[in-house]
Structure 1
């Protein structure tokens, strides 16, 4: 066999000689020889293309095998938690992306335990303040329930944590935490600070925080769906709101401030209802009572969040504490009129007044709302810019990937504070996606199927930024107060001018 024939034979093409014409055969051989040469030189066939390489060093990509929810009898027979999900985290990319600034608050929320650490005794003392205890050991999740929570908050919170473990499988550390899924604050600063404080506070996770409390802020259950009121998981809801906002241009929307909700959960909401349109006066607001019992009976026809973007301005007011409605209101690209909140969730501390929203004081809120609408209708470009900035913050920085990354970094930093090795509590039971989702029906099951993480991430979480310096936090608080007072001054000047006009008309 000749030298060329030997090469062809090694390349596996010698037998093609008899099947091809001489010209075609020569072309094929030339191509193979060139490819072999480029392979030896490690040169890509098409410059700039990351896909078409003939190289011995080309990295073999891991196949992303999807593992959907499997509730068949065969899958669950004999065990409620099938072992068919990957248990090793093998990202194909390295992390070069820094997390959004609101991740910096993680350090602040855990600051109370930086010096003492977290002991088993603290966990035991905090059990009376929690609805459940959640322990992760070796990637398995165990839950011990203490109280019956409101609706399905605890179920979807646990579901969210299970999705985190599926997204970053094998990466979430062992930990032991307490969770309160109600509204009121549980761990108050006044009980654990000062000369009379004798013990360190127990760490309790909760959906919101305040300046008076030490609760650790965690993303709320609605990111995976709120079945009782037919609010879909966050990705679907956000997409629907975005499409709803695009139906009507800002300048074509109703030139009033809109709010719809249950006013009976808090006194300040009942106070807000006094600002509604009457036969005698118009405060430039349109307020609607959301009757959830009636909405449920009617199939939630008039309760879709994506259908509530037809006003230029939307009002955010807290409920019993903070309200999950905040993210939905900001996402609409209408200028958000935020009645001064007393509570915050995990992302809202990075919102800036007059950049992402318009601040409204709690006292004399009717007058403040009327002025805000008047100002916006006379400064339409600036009002639109504030609305779009708030919406952009939600659309770009509050993605589900960032929600999961926040959860990961919060739990990872929390685990570093533990002074003991987490173990399964005697009364705890193991949970997994199958044990939580398979018994569910209707919307509960539907939302879990929509929000399930089917395969591990191919990239690691974003990089956690450093904590805020105390001076930066003080400056931020001072700046927010300064801008709120500036708005109050504008409002006062406007009110005085209106009164002067009334006096002038009375003289005429």
Structure 2
């Protein structure tokens, strides 16, 4: 992956290689009290007074219309969010002093929540893309996951993670590119801080390289073995790797990309600085073209003296950018074009979420790979599909359509940024991790144990000795304390007919764009 551009080396036979790649009254009347009714009236008065006090706390003055209290109708999501506001979160700061003194993980952090969330039935239903968890774990739905299966995934894994009674242990096999493994593990530790005591015991292998390696063709047929479960950041339709949120949600210090909460705020603020109508009426892309042929092909779509395809394409020189202090790589300053192009690198790219957040129309060169949330993106609702084998003409048509159908184009850009803002907020990233690991843990057919060469890992052992941007990003993404509510409610799996309909709708939308494009170019010849 890349953002777009830092990378490792070309893929090797063992699957390793990869690349690393705004940001916004009750009216009381006096009672006539008689001596024979005074006691009863007193009781009634007290009850009414208590009721009034409770009502005063529950009703917001903005809900009063014409002197009548109007109780707001809350959606499931807003009920859950409203409950959070009324509960006080306990903050548990890092205990670096104890860690420095003992060189071990402190035991002061709560190991469970104080009580089971009494209003869990009011929690928000998880976004649609959570349903893919069931699909990703389907290869082990009937067999379960054995120790042998897990250990067979070691061949390309960067690390093994074991969670026992809420404590994390890590066995490192080989260092990942840059700090992918560091911030992936940091994210998992924050999940354990957010939901202490809620995850089952776990034992899993994680590969931080881009390319998926568990090929489904190797595990088909009557005599085939069950595939090894291997976690990574992306997959395609021909592989069985288990997709997991990438490290950049907690920061990417090598290219100064902040963790998700402050970065998403920056992106939303950037959107407010320049409306869609004010933006450059072109399609923008900036990245490293050297990592993939499809990106080198995109360079042909740049404006020239002979042809304007409506694209403005820039090659990113990360070495030069590093020396300049990344002054021109602020993602929140790049939402200044009506259209932004997403194209894969050697595999998927973490840049996709930043592009989708821009209020621009995302011109998505039809991808091979997907991560944990992108399978729920809908063509013509969240993005405009671009043909991978005819990019320039496809981009030209998309830009022309958007500039002549501005209301529809603006709505598409807004739908994408709202998806990122609402459905990909950090709480849902953690909830996805929780549900994925929870369902995975249910499949284990053995009791995990701590590997011989594993070490205990906690937020203190990672953040306290960290330096520079590593420490800055860890501290800004630190979960302050246990969540006051349970995770969102997991949606049911797709039934076969629903899944076929979903994929068919996406395919038909892409075919519709193909038809429009064909007619567009036929009209150009007239």
Normalised by the length of structure 1, the TM-score is 0.87
Instruction: Report how far residue 86 of structure 1 moved.
Output: 1.4
* Runs of 4+ with deviation above 6 angstroms: 33-37
Are 2:521 and 1:486 equivalent residues in the alignment?
A: no
The answer as to whether partners of 1:95 and 1:460 remain within 8 angstroms in 2 is: no
Instruction: Report how far residue 472 of structure 1 moved.
Output: 1.6
Find the partner of 2:91 among 47, 62, 66.
66
Instruction: Report how far residue 358 of structure 1 moved.
Output: 0.3
Question: Residue in 2 aligned with 1:161?
Answer: 188
Tell me the distance in 1 between the aligned counterparts of 2:231 and 2:461. 23
Question: Residue in 1 aligned with 2:360?
Answer: 334
Report how many aligned residue pairs link the two structures: 458
1:125-136 to structure 2, matched below 5 A, reads: 125-136=152-163
Find the partner of 1:119 among 146, 157, 163.
146
Question: Residue in 2 aligned with 1:81?
Answer: 105
Tell me the distance in 1 between the aligned counterparts of 2:525 and 2:88. 71
| Most deviating of 374-383 and 186-195 | 186-195
Normalised by the length of structure 2, the TM-score is 0.84
The answer as to whether partners of 2:136 and 2:243 remain within 8 angstroms in 1 is: yes
Tell me the distance in 2 between the aligned counterparts of 1:318 and 1:291. 17
Deviations 1:45-95 (A, max 9, x none): 35242499xxxxxxxx986331223434x5421233112211121346434
Tell me the distance in 2 between the aligned counterparts of 1:447 and 1:308. 22
Q: SS of the residue aligned with 1:49? A: helix
| Most deviating of 89-98 and 487-496 | 89-98
Deviations 1:391-449 (A, max 9, x none): 11111110100011111010000001000001101111111011111222111100000
Gaps of 5+ in 1: 1-32, 53-60, 501-508
Q: SS of the residue aligned with 2:120? A: coil
The answer as to whether partners of 2:99 and 2:461 remain within 8 angstroms in 1 is: no
| Most deviating of 211-220 and 471-480 | 471-480
Rg larger in structure: 1
Deviations 1:323-368 (A, max 9, x none): 1001000000100000001111111111100011000110111100
Q: SS of the residue aligned with 1:43? A: helix
Q: SS of the residue aligned with 1:336? A: strand
Find the partner of 1:299 among 311, 318, 325.
325
Tell me the distance in 2 between the aligned counterparts of 1:392 and 1:105. 21
Question: Residue in 1 aligned with 2:521?
Answer: 495
Find the partner of 2:370 among 344, 353, 357.
344
Are 2:456 and 1:425 equivalent residues in the alignment?
A: no
Deviations 1:312-332 (A, max 9, x none): 000011111111001000000
Question: Residue in 2 aligned with 1:188?
Answer: 215
| Most deviating of 367-376 and 472-481 | 472-481
Gaps of 5+ in 2: 1-40, 61-85
1:161–1:35 distance in 2 versus 1, CA, 3 Å: farther
Tell me the distance in 2 between the aligned counterparts of 1:168 and 1:287. 43
1:289–1:485 distance in 2 versus 1, CA, 3 Å: same
Question: Residue in 2 aligned with 1:403?
Answer: 429
Question: Residue in 2 aligned with 1:27?
Answer: none
Are 2:45 and 1:45 equivalent residues in the alignment?
A: no
Tell me the distance in 2 between the aligned counterparts of 1:162 and 1:418. 21
